[in-house]
């Protein structure tokens, strides 16, 4: 049981820290305040504001401060229904400040108690860390010729469907005080949203279920729901994972996977959630697992719709292979998109260093995302280097410039794409060392021990990248380079 969390609503200094962390240039809500105006308030006004928020924490926001505008963001190029749109609610700036304050103090406590597989908002537990841990589990099983399988699912409009009272009860069990949660629910019951479609604002719409997207307290409610899911499914033979409304689990026992599937169906029914079966899938590292799923689905109690059985997917933004396959899939498309963006940067009317900065900051993260966990060959790095040198020095030189030299020495703002990928491999392990130390140690040990010719996961890909630059990694994490340089 998590002890009840205390919130320093009356401490002006705590509010000042939150206000100073607010991003600039955000939308002004119906309250009329902006983040920049809040940052300009003197200390005496912050004290008054903290006193006001103390009262709000017990009674909630009035309807004048809880009005909101809702805009729709398309998930696909040609949206055909609400399932293809993501509603974003622009709330009052003061409500967002209050929610951010609650989130900071709640998350700082929850991260000490909630296990690592529960992610989606807690500090140090990003989507990258969760995806990495899943891929490492699959890599270890594949390397040892064992079998494992699992299921991954996506919830339909989770933030808009679950019951507020039920979620509040879960949040209360996780340490949040009941009066604060009652005030939060009262605020949501008063909320009126004004949809903004094609430049037109429609009549206000109230709601009795769900929570608004774009609110920090809504993130806490999703974390609470994910916690219920995790503890409902977890057992010695089942490993659940939750990142917001993306839930999954894995097990080496076929029976355990389907028992977990039944528990999941019961849970989503009780919580009034809906599973998007078209975005869900079963998976297995062996043919026997995959055939078992395909043949037994209709025998499951509560079976609603057949779910695909896959061996390669894009999950949590990462390319995941449930075998030793090394196909690049959507990574190749990302690299091509990166080359296209570099070609557009070539024609910008700015100097070389500015172009280098544009390539380093927006292009490398897009083109090389997942390359730290899925091995890509040198020809793809060469393609990015060639596009870069053309963008920086042009095509007019008689002597062909070296793409490798251009990416390493032309600008201090630009890093070679291969070196960028190598640094990403090191950074993810370093970040994991602070939140999942055992996983980071095991990853380093696997990387150091691997001597195969075909990488099939994060650790084996890291080892191949190190081999290409002549670096050695030992089981203690010490990297040895040319001339016995160590770090």
pLDDT single digits (tens) 368-415 = 998 999 999 999 999 999 999 989 887 765 556 678 888 888 889 999
Provide the domain limits for residue 135.
129-157+226-321
The span from the CA of 290 to the CA of 344, in Å, is: 44
Phi-psi region of 284 (alpha: psi -120 to 50; beta: other; left: phi over 0): beta
In a domain, 122, yes or no: no
- Mark out the alpha helices in 359-412 (DSSP H runs): 364-367, 378-393, 403-409
Domain termination residue (choose one: 219, 244, 269): 219
Domain termination residue (choose one: 281, 301, 321): 321
Contact 239, 250 (CB under 8 A): yes
Q: Are residues 54 and 188 in the same domain?
A: yes
Beta bridge partners of 318: 315
Q: Are residues 276 and 405 in the same domain?
A: no
Q: Are residues 304 and 393 in the same domain?
A: no
Phi/psi at 305 (5° precision): -150, 145
Structure tokens at 156: 């339909």
Q: What is the CA radius of gyration of the chain?
A: 25
pLDDT tens track for 328-370: 888 999 999 999 999 999 888 999 999 999 999 999 999 999 8
The mean pLDDT value of the chain amounts to 88
Using the predicted structure, report yes or no on whether residue 191 has a pLDDT greater than 70: yes
Count of Cβ atoms closer than 10 Å to residue 367 Cβ = 28
Residue 470 pLDDT grade (very low, low, confident, very high; cuts 50, 70, 90): confident
Q: Are residues 19 and 107 in the same domain?
A: yes
Q: Are residues 343 and 278 in the same domain?
A: no
The span from the CA of 214 to the CA of 56, in Å, is: 20
Beta bridge partners of 281: 152, 308
Max Cα distance, the chain (Å): 74
Share above pLDDT 90 across residues of the chain, in percent, rounded to a whole number: 49
Using the predicted structure, report yes or no on whether residue 481 has a pLDDT greater than 60: yes
Q: Are residues 336 and 302 in the same domain?
A: no
Burial class (CB in 10 A: 0-12, 13-18, 19+), 310: middle
The span from the CA of 143 to the CA of 457, in Å, is: 9
3-state secondary structure 210-230: CCCCCCHHHHHHHHHHHHHHH
Q: Are residues 211 and 334 in the same domain?
A: no
Q: Are residues 179 and 169 in the same domain?
A: yes
Q: Are residues 138 and 204 in the same domain?
A: no
In a domain, 59, yes or no: yes
Q: Residue 71: which H helix or E strand, with range?
A: strand 67-74
In a domain, 204, yes or no: yes
Domain termination residue (choose one: 321, 345, 378): 321
Structure tokens at 190: 């008063």
Q: Helix, strand, or coil here: 4?
A: coil
Q: Are residues 418 and 364 in the same domain?
A: yes
């Amino acid at each position: 049981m998590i002890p009840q969390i205390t919130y320093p609503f009356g401490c002006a200094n705590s509010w000042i820290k939150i206000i100073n962390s607010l991003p600039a240039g955000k939308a002004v809500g119906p309250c009329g305040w902006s983040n920049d105006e809040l940052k300009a308030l003197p200390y005496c006004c912050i004290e008054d504001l903290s006193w006001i928020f103390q009262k709000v924490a017990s009674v909630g926001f009035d309807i004048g401060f809880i009005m909101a505008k809702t805009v729709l963001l398309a998930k696909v190029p040609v949206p055909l229904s609400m399932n293809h749109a993501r509603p974003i609610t622009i709330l009052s700036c003061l409500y967002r400040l209050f929610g951010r304050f609650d989130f900071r103090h709640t998350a700082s406590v929850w991260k000490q108690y909630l296990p690592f597989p529960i992610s989606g908002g807690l500090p140090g537990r990003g989507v990258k860390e969760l995806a990495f841990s899943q891929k490492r589990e699959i890599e270890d099983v594949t390397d040892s010729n064992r079998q494992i399988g699992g299921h991954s699912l996506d919830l339909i409009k989770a933030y808009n469907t679950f019951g507020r009272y039920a979620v509040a009860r879960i949040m209360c069990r996780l340490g949040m005080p009941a009066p604060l949660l009652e005030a939060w629910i009262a605020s949501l019951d008063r909320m009126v949203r004004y949809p903004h479609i094609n430049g037109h604002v429609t009549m206000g719409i109230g709601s009795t279920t769900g929570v608004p997207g774009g609110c920090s307290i809504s993130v806490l409610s999703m974390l609470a729901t994910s916690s219920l899911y995790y503890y409902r499914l977890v057992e010695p033979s089942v490993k659940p994972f939750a990142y917001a409304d993306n839930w999954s689990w894995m097990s080496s026992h076929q029976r355990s996977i389907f028992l977990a599937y039944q528990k999941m169906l019961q849970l989503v029914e009780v919580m009034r959630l809906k599973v998007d079966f078209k975005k869900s899938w079963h998976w297995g590292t062996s043919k026997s697992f995959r055939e078992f799923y395909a043949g037994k689905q209709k025998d499951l109690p509560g079976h609603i719709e057949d779910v695909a059985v896959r061996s390669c997917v894009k999950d949590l933004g990462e390319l995941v292979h449930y075998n030793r396959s090394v196909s690049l899939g959507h990574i190749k498309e990302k690299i091509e998109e990166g080359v296209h963006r570099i070609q557009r940067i070539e024609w910008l009317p700015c100097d070389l260093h500015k172009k280098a900065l544009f390539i380093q900051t927006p292009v490398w993260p897009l083109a090389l995302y997942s390359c730290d966990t899925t091995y890509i060959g040198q020809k793809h790095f060469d393609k990015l280097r060639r596009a870069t040198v053309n963008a920086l020095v042009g095509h007019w030189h008689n002597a062909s410039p070296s793409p490798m030299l251009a990416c390493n020495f032309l600008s201090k703002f630009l890093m070679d794409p291969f070196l960028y990928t190598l640094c990403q491999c090191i950074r993810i392990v370093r970040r994991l060392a602070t939140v999942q130390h055992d996983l980071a140690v095991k990853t380093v040990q696997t990387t150091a021990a691997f001597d195969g010719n075909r990488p099939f996961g994060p650790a084996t890909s890291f080892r191949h990248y190190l081999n290409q630059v002549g670096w050695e990694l030992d089981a203690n994490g010490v990297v040895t380079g040319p001339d016995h340089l160590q770090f």
